[in-house]
Structure 1
Amino acid sequence: MVVRCRLCSSAICLRITHVNTQTPTIDSSEKLVPAAAEVTPPPPVTPQVSTKTTTQTTSHSKLYLAAWRWHFYAGLYVIPFLLILAMTGMAMLWTSTLFGRDGERMTVVMQGEPMAVSQQAAAAQSAVPEGELVQYIAPLSPDLAAIFSMKTADETLSIAVNPYTAQVLDQTSRENSWYNLFDNIHGSLLLGTTGDRLIEIAASLSMVLIATGLYLWWPKKTGLLAALIPNVRARGRALWKSLHVSVGVWISLLLFVFLLTGLSWAGVWGEKLVQAWNTLPAEKYGAPQSEDIHASMNHDGTKQVPWALEQTPMPASGSDAGSVVMTAAMPVDIDSVATLARGLGFEQRFQLNLPQGETGVWTISRDSMSSDSTEATTDRTVHVDQFSGKVLADIGFQDYSIYGQAMAAGVGFHMGTLGLWNVALNTVFCLSVIFLCISGAIMWWKRRPVNAGRLVAPPMPANMPHWRGAALTGLAISLFFPMAGIALLVVMFVDFLIVSRVPMLKRALS
């Protein structure tokens, strides 16, 4: 090899005994020596990067981009629904807390002993002569009104009655009440079965949001505690991101509980799968079965029957079955059954549904979901034969399946009926969900270039590592939450047949 000196342009011959792949740099300040004394300079030291470490970093970056992309696209669909659910949920919460679902928060002046329930019922009947009395709700405390539900050809009316004077205080339509409006929006968007399915898809995809959000947040360099505290010194999009991440992590477990209890009421995953497998078998109480199920006691779409009993057939009156609890001389009417309820331990507020039809039964019930009590473990449903007065079934919290018990507690918690602490916590939760939706939209808006003309979604990484695991995870989610699976299949179908073939759409959605 010949090297020419940069100072005198003379050629210097060097014998290279070791070939180095990196050409050594010769500085002009170095002292040149004769060829005989020339020594090959050592190669410069370069930091060695582990191939394994580099591969792991690249794989992590690709997984991060993939999770971000899923989080982004799931959020596009979910955000409008979460906003609606949070706002209507908070409206239902405070409407029931301040006024009650059926006006049962109306106060009265206590005047000695309450009048017989039959006298109060007669007053309610006189207010709606064409109506049929279907339910009596005992007051939660002595200074509150009693509620009677009257069913007409067009609607169900709630009649508030002063239990001391049998005076009708108020008459409202359940169907046209504010609570019922918020409840129908919350459950079906006023679209019936279609709305129920759309909300179920949103709730299912929200599970994807939780999983991908936690993956994106998981601390890699900072400690766990530091990652839970937002960086309030940040500015711009960094501040919004810090607040979004911290609030999301703090409420992630609560959001999971709310989504799971809500999905358990949904028409596909809840009614067809989970509820069907956790419904109390009617054979357990041994009485003849009616053709009606417990859900028939729900009025105007409002859930009033415990989740674990909705699909359970009702017992039928008219047989020799049942336990004797009333004397033979005692007539079986609303007064005697209300007295029986007190004797069986139904204190303060309870619901009494009247028999419907020849095989109908008197049903005494109390559950935390309906604000009858603040403890799910006290849930109880008793069915009484309308002819003999015998107890055909006495179903308590302990008779539910494990999931049914979890739902008894979870639905009460979801609805904020377990006490003032529950109302306060649910209010903060709803406000947090609204903030997450708004902050997510703001983060996207601040990230997108001006006049981009497209969604500016996070890029899909090439050569996705562990794609088989991701595919299996997606398959598992699709099988566990069928509506989410159907939504994903529809998106893939539309993307393959339409979006990928129309350049304008492909650019707009990228």
Structure 2
Amino acid sequence: MLGSQTQTQPKDNTRLQSTQQTKARYFLAWRWHFYAGLFVVPFMIMLSLTGLVMLFDDEIEQLRYQDVLSVVPQEQTLPASQQIAAVKSVYLEAAMTQFISSKQPDTANKVSIRFEDGKSLFIAVNPYTAQVQGEIDRSDSWYELANNIHGTLLIGKLGDFLIEIAASLSILLLVTGIYMWLPSDNASRAGFLKLRVSSGSRILLRDIHANLGGVLSVVLLLFVLSGLAWAGVWGAKMVQGWNTFPTYYTWGEKPQSDLTHSSLNHGSEEELPWNLEHSTLPQSQAQDHSGHHGSETVSMKHYATVSIDQIIDQAKALGFTQFKVFMPKSETGVYTVAANSMAGDVIDPRQDRTTHFDQYSGEVLVDVTWDDYTLMAKLMAAGISLHQGDVSVINKALNALFCIAFIAISITGVVMWWKRRPVGQQKLGVPPKFQQDAIWKSGLVCLLIIGICFPLAGLTIAVTLILDWLLVRRSKRLQHYFA
């Protein structure tokens, strides 16, 4: 009997130690999940709400400007040059920057114009009669406002950094959330992929929060990574820069402008492919053929530019169907024809194409297609199309449901905290600490990996740990508040 008891005791100790380690890991994950959620939740709600507005931008614009955009279809459209000339005759002081043909026969074409003060307008023009039907202030669109909030909170670079921090910390939120969601004991198995409606409001909220978050974790990761690719640090410095396409790679050395492709964008609208934004534009070049200067380049004011009609004909011959035409911005500027899935010009990212034409000869200077994209650029193009709901009606409907689900996940998390917070104790309601040194050290590895992969998340975690060491641990009041 004594021997049996002696053998049983080490097994019990081992089982108890394993249980304690499991609890320690769970509570550590819960505390990190809570702290990350404090910062992420407001941004998650904001991004979901503005995402819903951007998702239905076309429908909203059509409703707002139905009188301006509606036309009666006819058999024959007029040349683009004639439509642009009609706009010029009304807006004498404006520069013509862009021509966009409508996707629908009963909708007006758009000519984008810009004034010297930077104001930019869409001018709706009837493609069948060249009649100017009205104007749309590009800065007054719901999309523009939602996109600015979505990307910068209307406060520029600071807003971009704050949103990138939130998006980066959401990776930590995902990792810890999935760890707590996956069944590891009887308590977690009880609510896994179930809604216990008869077990009280706290249990029901927990099941909604955990199961929605767990099931949609891959979807949220896709949204986060595709969104981060536009961000100022992880996107522009770490990912986008390495995947910027050098335009001379395929087409040889060309005269290069000081401007990049991003200079063709209007406001916060991303109209050029992600992997081309930082690459330089080619230049148009006129040659002196009088004989006494050979092929020396001379003042381009003496040379006539090719018409936009010729550029459109060439683009169609290359295979373009739906596209935007960007007008030359200077004497050395180029015509740019772009069909970009990220801008919604085409649905299938494999049809992406950006072609630059010399404004004097009509020569194709650079022609970038899907085949020229890097693997990361291809993943980005496909991911952004899904992110924006451009692939199909089903894609758009699912994205709308995802946005609503992310809002529900955020709100249920806040309500769960509110219900369990200590009342009248001057405490934040942080999940309890179940400290074990070995568990903390293994958890630190997870933080380091996330911090290295996503620098602003790493910086935020480091600052938080430093503040904890400098302030919280030296103040009994703060220790009580965060206990």
Superposed pair shares fold, TM > 0.5 = yes
Alignment match, 1:312: 279
Q: 1:101 to 1:265 in 2, by over 3 A?
A: farther
Q: Percent of pairs identical after alignment?
A: 40
Alignment match, 1:62: 24
> Runs of 4 or more off by more than 6 Å in structure 1?
42-48, 100-105, 222-226
Match of 1:276 among 241, 248, 269: 241
- Aligned partners of 1:279 and 1:310 also within 8 Å: yes
Cα distance, 1:231 vs structure 2: 2.6
Match of 2:164 among 195, 200, 221: 200
2-structure distance, mates of 1:101, 1:401: 39
Q: Secondary structure at the match of 2:192?
A: helix
Q: 1:462 to 1:200 in 2, by over 3 A?
A: same
**Larger deviation, residues 213-222 vs 240-249:** 213-222
Cα distance, 1:228 vs structure 2: 2.2
Q: Secondary structure at the match of 2:145?
A: helix
Q: Do structure 1's residue 219 and structure 2's residue 183 form an aligned pair?
A: yes
Unmatched segments (≥5 aa) in structure 2: 288-294, 296-303
Match of 1:504 among 465, 477, 481: 477
Q: CA RMSD in A?
A: 2.7
Alignment match, 2:82: 119
Q: Secondary structure at the match of 2:118?
A: coil
Q: 1:95 to 1:449 in 2, by over 3 A?
A: same
- Amino acid aligned to 1:132: A
Match of 1:237 among 186, 202, 223: 202
Q: Secondary structure at the match of 2:244?
A: coil
Q: Do structure 1's residue 341 and structure 2's residue 315 form an aligned pair?
A: yes
2-structure distance, mates of 1:149, 1:263: 29
Query: How big is each residue's C-alpha offset from its partner over 1:198-246, in whole Å with a ceiling of 9 and x where there is no partner?
Result: 0000000000000000000111247989722333333220010011111
Q: Do structure 1's residue 298 and structure 2's residue 265 form an aligned pair?
A: yes
2-structure distance, mates of 1:243, 1:232: 10
- Amino acid aligned to 1:316: Q
- Amino acid aligned to 1:247: L
- Amino acid aligned to 1:150: I
**Higher helix content, 1 or 2:** 2
Match of 2:446 among 473, 485, 491: 473
Alignment match, 1:75: 37
1-structure distance, mates of 2:440, 2:13: 21
2-structure distance, mates of 1:49, 1:198: 50
Alignment match, 2:95: 132
Cα distance, 1:47 vs structure 2: 7.9
1-structure distance, mates of 2:466, 2:332: 51
**Larger deviation, residues 279-288 vs 261-270:** 279-288
Alignment match, 1:417: 390
Aligned length: 464
**Larger deviation, residues 446-455 vs 62-71:** 446-455
Scaled by the length of structure 2, the TM-score of the pair is 0.90
- Aligned partners of 1:62 and 1:465 also within 8 Å: no
Q: 1:345 to 1:225 in 2, by over 3 A?
A: farther
Alignment match, 2:72: 109
Alignment match, 1:385: 358
2-structure distance, mates of 1:308, 1:45: 65
1-structure distance, mates of 2:286, 2:385: 35
- Amino acid aligned to 2:27: L
**Larger deviation, residues 280-289 vs 392-401:** 280-289
Q: 1:103 to 1:120 in 2, by over 3 A?
A: farther
Scaled by the length of structure 1, the TM-score of the pair is 0.85
